Amino acid sequence: MRCIINRRAQFSASHRYWLPELSEAENGRLFGRCAQAPGHGHNYVLFVSMEGELDEYGMVLNLSDVKHTIQREVTSQLDFSYLNDTWPEFQQTLPTTENMARVIWQRLAPHLPLVRIQLFEHPELWAEYEGNAMEAYLTISTHFSAAHRLALPHLTLEQNSEIYGKCARVNGHGHNYHLEVTVKGEIDPRTGMIADLGAVQKAIDDYVVEPMDHTFLNKDVPYFEKVVPTAENIAVYIRDVLRQPIQELGAQLHKVKLIESPNNSAEVYCTPLDPPESVAHYSARMLVQA
């Protein structure tokens, strides 16, 4: 029987996004405040995922051995370091979150049966790498607050209440939505980026957060005049409005996860070949956590 196990580790380090072949002004335009000297730091959280067969003791690997391997190969070298100068890989390709995940994979792969490296720069930004050349994933987390009512216009209040329960009440109710947007792309061999992080954040703000924050979705967002704003349908809508802007930035929208409450979330995936789909069609590919 095969099983995936995960080990958590952490380290603190600083870095700077700066290319010596560019002028100060060019670095500033490319990297923003991340180009400022002498750099800035983060408390990184690392998750190492490994896969293997269960042995006679009920383990994939001895976690004590895993801990010491991660410490020896990664955290003892990176903790309290200036990343740009610590590993030669970061002199060739800048230590962005996505490139760090890739290089950590390379450092650990000879020692552990890896399936995924996940590196959190902070709780609202993390990268994942799965061993596929220069391909990586970057997730930005944000939030907005909105109200909605779950009801089909052609049904009575009683009928809607049978389907949606209290969510069908006529004056609606609200949520503090937590949104995670994951983009996918090739790590640039010099900048270490799969996309301009500031531009991705701006696209999310411009197309999702600002138009939806502090609204009554059924009335303020035209799409939801005819589509019931369930968490699932909201996730589909966000996917549809973000796909093109993200593609124009040179990346691919990979996943949208919408957390409506601690007990309820929905996530939808996207590929560049997906045609525009109706909510009903897409629901067959929806992952919903209740």
The residues assigned a catalytic role are 167, 214, 260
Query: What own/partner pairs with CB < 8 Å and gap ≥ 24 does 52-59 have?
Result: 52/2, 52/3, 52/5, 52/113, 53/1, 53/2, 53/3, 54/1, 54/2, 54/3
CB–CB of 239/266 below 8 Å?
Answer: no
Token pair recorded at residue 146: 């909105």
- Rounded distance between C-alpha atoms, residue 47 and residue 114, angstroms: 11
- Rounded distance between C-alpha atoms, residue 37 and residue 3, angstroms: 45
Nearest to 114 by CA among 97, 100, 101: 101
- Rounded distance between C-alpha atoms, residue 239 and residue 256, angstroms: 6
- Rounded distance between C-alpha atoms, residue 232 and residue 240, angstroms: 13
CB–CB of 113/51 below 8 Å?
Answer: yes
Token pair recorded at residue 147: 């109200």
Name residue, tokens 């996530």. Answer: 267
* CB atoms inside a 10 Å sphere around CB 157: 11
